[in-house]
Structure 1
Amino acid sequence: AAISPQRTAEHIDTILRAELGLLVIQQPVISAEHLSSGASEPLNLKTFIRQLETPVIVGDCASYSAALHLMRTGAAGVLVGVGTGRSSTVRRVLGIGGPQATALADARAARMRHLDETGVYTHLIADGSMATGGDIAKAIVCGADAVMLGSPLAAAEDAPGQGWHWGVQSVHPTIPQGGRVAVTPRGTMAEIIHGPSHAEDGSLNLAGALRQSMAMCGYTDLKSFQKAEILVNSR
């Protein structure tokens, strides 16, 4: 289940009764302590997360300090990326965002510090700018353990959006930070994820492309693939 920080305190009893397998607390930019209008007390993520037996993923963030702050709440995973998704308008509306590779590299450094301090490994999930198998491969090398896919899956012929994609930022009573965007059908969901591919643009067989990228770089698993070198092109 997913919920925004603004609604978490309101629905805490329902969350506890639901015995969820995973809870995602998400908004475009999140901090470990959230205060919204009408709330008498700020939502302290550290206190909230530690009263749950359910693993919690929090995000999004795009900096070293923000990622480290969220890791210290006890979250099992942190969503990394602000304003990078296809449907997101956060950069235009709020002026907040950053390059995805930089955000992941900073969060990776924060994870190393958190691991040294606590012995706890926090998973990083790249959220945004994932359009092709190559994008996924680069995200893993930058430090991600997983990626969140939106528009690539929405482009499936059998996707429930039927040719449209929108994110959680699209819904806001006063300041929407995302739009509803049309996506061109690429193939079935199975073809997009596992192939076979009939296009040369990297939009199909995402898992196969990731495996091929790992093999060409000499790696057999995702954890070791995170050790691959990155060459930055200044063009």
Structure 2
Amino acid sequence: MSNEMEIGRGKRGRRAYSFDDVAVVPSRRTRDPRQVSLAWQIDAFRFEIPVIGAPMDSVMSPATAIALGQHGGLGVLDLEGLWTRYDDPAALLDEIATLSMDAATLRMQEIYQEPIKDELIVQRLQEIRAAGVTVAGALSPQRTQEHYETVLKAGVDLFVIRGTTVSAEHVSAEVEPLNLKKFIYDLDVPVIVGGASTYQAALHLMRTGAAGVLVGFGGGAAQTTRTTLGIHAPMATAVADVAAARRDYLDESGGRYVHVIADGGLGRSGDMVKAIACGADAIMLGAALARAAEAPGAGYHWGPESYHSALPRGERVRVGTTGTLEEVLFGPGTRADGTTNIMGALRRSMATTGYSDLKEFQRVDVVVSPYQAG
């Protein structure tokens, strides 16, 4: 059945849904929340909660990556961020948090002009490894060729290639593009790559050998991609489409399972519940973790799009502080707005609908039910 709609006589568009447009439906069975497992595994690495800290300077420092790992998640350090440009970026992080809205973009562009230093990449990753947690770092596709050897020598368990959008078929007449399939094949560590927001794009990324695909395009709290580029991918539809690509690739490859990781539009616990219900194996969180007291953004949140030298596609936004990292993840909750005890909310939703683990919960019934405040 087609869900295309007529926009005008010369154009039709496919109807797509955000997380606000869908809801999970209770079933005939309920379960004790204590019997629900939130664990997941990618390659040889098992995590007790399906939370990946987004590689953004407002979210992940070496210290917060370690703390998230100790809480059972995975912290991913931005290897193009302040921690690999400056010996001690604390004063700059404090400055960014005090900038006026008018001054923020220009000043951030200036701050991020400092070159990336390979010795700092090594130092930061070794610091995380010394704490005994899984080590993960992220580079954009543009920087991967330049720095990946340093990253591998420093020692990472998981390597993330993350951009606003990443394709397996980048065309350029001036720059030799990153050959993802050859690159991933030559590496000795699992690679998570994205974002992708369509079935076909995700299927192509899966065929490169990626262990996981990030789903999203310009949907985060700090991005203005829809305003600046006119491009947007409603996340419920995007996750469901990429989950379908995972299913079909599983058959095509003879049993190779590629993990689907929702990345964007996940500000509150209800969004995270619906991401997994639509087919995600795990969730990459930015704004949700930027609200933790330990977050380096001090109540502010921004991504690499915010300081792009030629075309900024994001903003530094105020998200506030709702509690410690432990309270954000596990409670006790102090607010009824889905910003604290987010894992408790996921566990309770799964119990309320009768599911005992994340894989099972991907089969839960979902309805289209647009949310209307008030």
TM-score by length of 1: 0.95
**Residue identity matched to 1:181:** V
SS at match of 1:161: coil
Mapping of residues 161-172 of structure 1, within 5 Å: 161-172=297-308
Tell me what 1:87 maps to.
Answer: 222
**Residue identity matched to 1:44:** N
Q: Give, in whole Å, the separation in 1 of the partners of 2:148 and 2:320.
A: 39
Aligned length: 234
Tell me what 1:128 maps to.
Answer: 264
Output one character per residue of 1:132-191: Cα deviation in whole Å (capped at 9) or x when no partner.
Answer: 221111100100011111111111122211111112322322112221111121111111
Q: Give, in whole Å, the separation in 2 of the partners of 1:69 and 1:180.
A: 33
Q: Give, in whole Å, the separation in 1 of the partners of 2:167 and 2:300.
A: 30
Percent identity of equivalent pairs: 55
Q: 2:242 matched to 1:113?
A: no
Q: Give, in whole Å, the separation in 2 of the partners of 1:4 and 1:31.
A: 12
Q: In the TM superposition, what is the alpha-carbon distance from 1:38 to its structure 2 partner?
A: 4.9
Tell me what 1:62 maps to.
Answer: 197
Output one character per residue of 1:180-207: Cα deviation in whole Å (capped at 9) or x when no partner.
Answer: 1111211111111000012111111000
Q: 198, 205, 210: which one pairs with 2:346?
A: 210
Q: Is the 8 A contact 2:218 2:264 kept in 1?
A: yes
Q: Is the 8 A contact 1:35 1:43 kept in 2?
A: no
Which is higher, the Rg of structure 1 or of structure 2?
2
Q: In the TM superposition, what is the alpha-carbon distance from 1:214 to its structure 2 partner?
A: 0.1
Q: Give, in whole Å, the separation in 1 of the partners of 2:290 and 2:298.
A: 8
Q: Is the 8 A contact 1:77 1:123 kept in 2?
A: yes
Output one character per residue of 1:6-65: Cα deviation in whole Å (capped at 9) or x when no partner.
Answer: 1112224323423321111111011013356752x2211011111001111111011111
Q: Give, in whole Å, the separation in 2 of the partners of 1:229 and 1:125.
A: 20
Mapping of residues 130-169 of structure 1, within 5 Å: 130-169=266-305
Structure 1, 171-180 or 74-83: larger mean CA deviation: 171-180
Tell me what 1:96 maps to.
Answer: 231
Q: 162, 186, 198: which one pairs with 2:322?
A: 186
Q: Which has the higher contact order (CA 8 A, sep 6+)?
A: 2
Q: 312, 331, 355: which one pairs with 1:195?
A: 331
Q: 170, 185, 207: which one pairs with 1:72?
A: 207
Tell me what 2:25 maps to.
Answer: none
Q: Give, in whole Å, the separation in 2 of the partners of 1:128 and 1:13.
A: 29
Q: Give, in whole Å, the separation in 2 of the partners of 1:153 and 1:12.
A: 27
Tell me what 1:30 maps to.
Answer: 166
Q: Is the 8 A contact 2:299 2:320 kept in 1?
A: yes
Distance 1:37 1:188, change over 3 A: farther
SS at match of 1:147: strand
**Residue identity matched to 2:225:** V
**Residue identity matched to 2:178:** L
**Residue identity matched to 1:2:** A
CA RMSD across the alignment: 1.5
Output one character per residue of 1:81-130: Cα deviation in whole Å (capped at 9) or x when no partner.
Answer: 11211001111122112110000010011111100001110101111111
**Residue identity matched to 2:160:** V
Q: Give, in whole Å, the separation in 2 of the partners of 1:50 and 1:172.
A: 30
Q: Is the 8 A contact 2:299 2:318 kept in 1?
A: yes
Q: 2:357 matched to 1:224?
A: no
**Residue identity matched to 2:356:** T
Q: Is the 8 A contact 1:63 1:106 kept in 2?
A: yes
Q: Is the 8 A contact 1:62 1:97 kept in 2?
A: no
